[in-house]
Every structure is written in structure tokens, then in C-alpha cells.
Amino acid sequence: MSTILTLDLGTTTGWALRTIDGNIVSGTQSFKPGRFEGGGMRYLRFRGWLAEVQGASGPIGAVYFEEVRRHAGVDAAHAYGGFLATLTAWCEHLSIPYSGVPVGVIKKHATGKGNADKVAMLDAMRALGFHPADDNEADALALLRWALEASASTASIEARR
């Protein structure tokens, strides 16, 4: 069993982590730019936060992130691209495997509907006993559930060979 980190990337990043001993922890982390910060500071803080997570959890075996193909606004699209570039460069540097999972796949797995709204995602995670603070954390938890089931079925296929 290895540590798995899942992320709903954005200015408020939702995260969930399955630790090496099987515990699940989750939350949100804000990377809102400070009033006197340059444009790249949020990404430096994000990279520092990733290092803190790894330092606290031990080696991360895999990272999954919500793969967004369309954004409501230009600013959100730019921020997502910056977080994605920072994340993938960090993973490459540390040789951590990473993969994007389309939003619709995560929603369908969690709720049965690929276009589920935020309330449905929150309700689905609460029904499983989680207590997400917001939709970002709920999405990260849903992605973690998807990743755990996907890795279990891959391991099952490998075991049959």
C-alpha cells in the first residue's frame, strides 16, 4: 500500500490523502494571492505546500488530479494552468507518477451522474461518512475513492496474469 494524493486544483485547492497505513485525511488549502505578492508567489506557495504534505505523510506513491477541460473564466483557466504546471513539474522532479481524471468520470463514479452539481457531490461524500468543508474537498475525496478503486482493479488484473 502506498500513499495516494488527490487534488482539485485551484485557488482553493481541495485535497485528500490515503496514507501508507490506510488512513484518509482531507481538507482545503488556499493559495489566494496576497495583496503585495507577485503573480508567481501562489505557485511557489503551492510547491512548498506539496513538499510539506510529502514531509508529513512520507513518500507519495501517486498523485491524481481533477482534469478540467473548460473553465467559466479566463482567470480560473490561467490559475488552473499554473497549478497544473507546478504540480506536474514537482512530480517529474521527484519521479512521482501522476494522472489527470476527467471531471465527468469523477462525478459519475461518486453520484451516478457525470454532470452532478456541487451539492450532489457534497451529499455523496457525506453519505460515505466524510465531512467535507466545501465542494473542493468533496471533489478531492471523490477522486480518491475513484483512484483507490481503479488501483484495486489494476492490482486484481495484474494478480491474475
Q: Model confidence over 81-139: pLDDT tens digits?
A: 999 999 999 999 999 999 999 999 999 999 999 999 999 999 999 999 999 999 999 99
Q: What is the C-alpha separation between 135 and 119, in angstroms, rounded?
A: 8
- What are the extents of the domains in the chain? 3-160
**HSE of 156, CA atoms in CB hemisphere, 13 A:** 6
- pLDDT score recorded for residue 160: 41
The average confidence (pLDDT) of the chain is 91
Q: Which CATH class is domain 3-160?
A: alpha beta
- pLDDT score recorded for residue 157: 37
Residue 98 sits at φ, ψ, to 5 deg, of -140, 155
Beta strands, E only, 1-152: 3-8, 12-18, 24-30, 60-67, 98-102
pLDDT(156) > 60: no
